[in-house]
């Protein structure tokens, strides 16, 4: 193969992999709604008697199984295939509604497990299948379970990972050194950079090339969430792992939407750090197994109905600082903002939370487990 053919092949493979990546993201975003739709179909089939409409449910399970297997969700694919087999059998007799609903629940749990695994690289045929299977009508008709190979950075053994460059952003020197020591044990020959705030981090990013960044959410001046958005805009391919003292239920969704590759609390077990870094280096996303299951089961929907979810990122940050006992002046100094600006944010927080004073903000934050 000459160089021109090789470049053409590489370009084609990149384009096909891009299709798979986009399909995977759409699949993740729509999964809860799709599962709800399948559950509704199960209930309809169960209640329709001898003339029950099994074809729609069969097609839905068939499409979910094929697409999930194609884009790297093998456990979802297997559980959906079980549902499909059960429903097809219902054409010859009564459907076991309880078992069918159990299959849907199993699909949800399988999604949490698959989501916690690193994504896989798939074949050209898989990309073509994903392109067809992702059409709204599911007209592909072809069901392919792809056996794919994980990229080297996803391998479990530390020795299998090539040397990497890690930028650690945290305002506490002892934390930076501790993170460096933990990762140095797992990633041989890794190179580390340290930054104490957003300006130092941006200086490092503009001077050198980095493979991954670890970012504390609470930084002096520009906070970690604002810095994350800036990093994502200027270096969209750089994986960023957010480290925080905040409860993950309350902050993880915000940082993932802002472009983070993963989120973990500083209370996590030390061995989880290397696991998280490997996962986002491989192009996946990292959250704890507990949070992944909540997202998969749709339990996070309650979070979006609470008043604090209507706060902007800056308002949320100010609220948490107020709830932690900081004064308006102290918050202004920490964020390099005027007292007047912080007072404006405080007023907006009061309005959106529907409370009247600082004490009520503190009570609200404690009641909703927003502060530790």
* 217, 258 contact by CB (below 8 A): no
Count Cβ neighbours within 10 Å for each residue of 304-314 and write b for 16 or more, e otherwise: eeeebeebebb
What is d(CA 287, CA 8) in angstroms, rounded to the nearest whole number? 37
**Right CATH number for 155-297 from 3.90.45.10, 3.40.50.2300, 3.40.50.300, 3.30.750.24?**
3.40.50.2300
**Right CATH number for 306-367 from 3.30.470.20, 1.10.10.10, 3.90.1560.10, 3.50.50.60?**
1.10.10.10
Give the start-end residues of each E strand in the chain: 165-169, 191-195, 212-216, 240-244, 262-265
pLDDT tens across the length of the chain (372 residues) = 454 444 444 454 555 566 667 777 778 878 888 888 888 888 777 776 545 557 778 888 888 887 887 777 888 888 888 888 887 766 555 667 778 888 888 888 888 777 776 555 444 444 444 444 443 333 333 333 333 323 333 333 334 445 789 999 999 998 899 999 989 888 888 899 999 999 999 999 999 889 999 999 888 888 888 899 889 888 888 899 998 876 655 677 778 878 888 888 887 888 889 888 988 887 778 887 767 766 665 544 444 457 777 788 888 889 888 988 889 999 988 888 899 999 999 998 988 888 888 888 888 888 777 776
* 294, 263 contact by CB (below 8 A): no
Collapse the DSSP code of 187 into the 3-class scheme (helix H, G, I; strand E, B; otherwise coil) and give the result: coil
Can you give the residue ranges of every domain in the chain?
Answer: 3-133, 155-297, 306-367
pLDDT at residue 77, rounded to an integer:
84
pTM of the entire predicted model: 0.46
pLDDT at residue 145, rounded to an integer:
31
Alpha-carbon distances of 187 from 95, 150, 153, 169, 270, rounded to whole Å? 52, 18, 11, 18, 14
240-244/212-216 β-pairing: parallel
pLDDT at residue 170, rounded to an integer:
92
pLDDT at residue 250, rounded to an integer:
60
Q: Over the Cα atoms of the chain, what is R_g?
A: 24
Residue 264 β-bridge partners: 243
Fold matches, 155-297 and 306-367: no
What is d(CA 273, CA 264) in angstroms, rounded to the nearest whole number? 8
What is d(CA 328, CA 345) in angstroms, rounded to the nearest whole number? 10
| φ/ψ (deg, to 5) at 215 | -130, 120
What is d(CA 304, CA 310) in angstroms, rounded to the nearest whole number? 8
pLDDT at residue 194, rounded to an integer:
94
């Amino acid at each position: 193969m000459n160089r021109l053919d090789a470049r053409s092949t590489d370009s084609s493979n990149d384009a096909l992999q891009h299709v798979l990546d986009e399909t995977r993201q759409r699949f993740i975003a729509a999964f809860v709604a799709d599962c709800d739709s399948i559950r509704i179909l199960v209930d309809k089939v169960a209640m329709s008697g001898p003339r029950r409409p099994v074809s729609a449910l069969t097609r839905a399970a068939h499409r979910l199984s094929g697409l999930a297997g194609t884009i790297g969700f093998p456990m979802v694919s297997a559980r959906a295939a079980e549902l499909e087999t059960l429903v097809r059998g219902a054409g010859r007799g009564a459907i076991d509604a309880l078992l069918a609903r159990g299959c849907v629940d199993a699909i949800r749990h399988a999604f949490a497990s698959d989501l916690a695994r690193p994504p896989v690289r798939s074949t050209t045929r898989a990309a073509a299948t994903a392109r067809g299977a992702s059409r709204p009508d599911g007209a592909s008709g072809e069901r392919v379970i792809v056996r794919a190979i994980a990229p080297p950075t996803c391998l479990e053994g530390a020795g299998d990972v090539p040397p990497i460059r890690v930028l650690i952003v945290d305002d506490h020197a002892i934390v930076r050194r501790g993170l460096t020591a933990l990762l140095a044990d797992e990633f041989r020959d890794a190179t580390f950079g340290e930054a104490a705030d957003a300006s130092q981090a941006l200086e490092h990013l503009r001077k050198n090339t980095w493979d991954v960044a670890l970012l504390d959410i609470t930084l002096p001046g520009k906070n970690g969430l604002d810095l994350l958005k800036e990093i994502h805009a200027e270096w969209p391919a750089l994986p960023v792992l957010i480290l925080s003292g905040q409860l993950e239920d309350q902050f993880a969704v915000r940082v993932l939407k802002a472009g983070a590759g993963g989120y973990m609390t500083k209370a996590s077990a030390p061995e989880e750090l290397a696991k998280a870094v490997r996962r986002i280096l491989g192009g996946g996303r990292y959250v704890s197994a507990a949070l992944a299951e909540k997202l998969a089961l749709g339990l996070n929907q309650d979070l979006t109905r609470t008043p604090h979810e209507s706060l902007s990122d800056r308002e949320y940050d100010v609220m948490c600082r107020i709830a932690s006992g900081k004064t308006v002046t102290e918050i202004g100094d920490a964020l390099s903002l005027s007292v007047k600006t912080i007072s404006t944010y405080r007023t907006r927080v009061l309005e959106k939370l529907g409370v009247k004073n600082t004490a009520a903000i503190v009570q609200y934050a404690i009641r909703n487990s927003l502060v530790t």
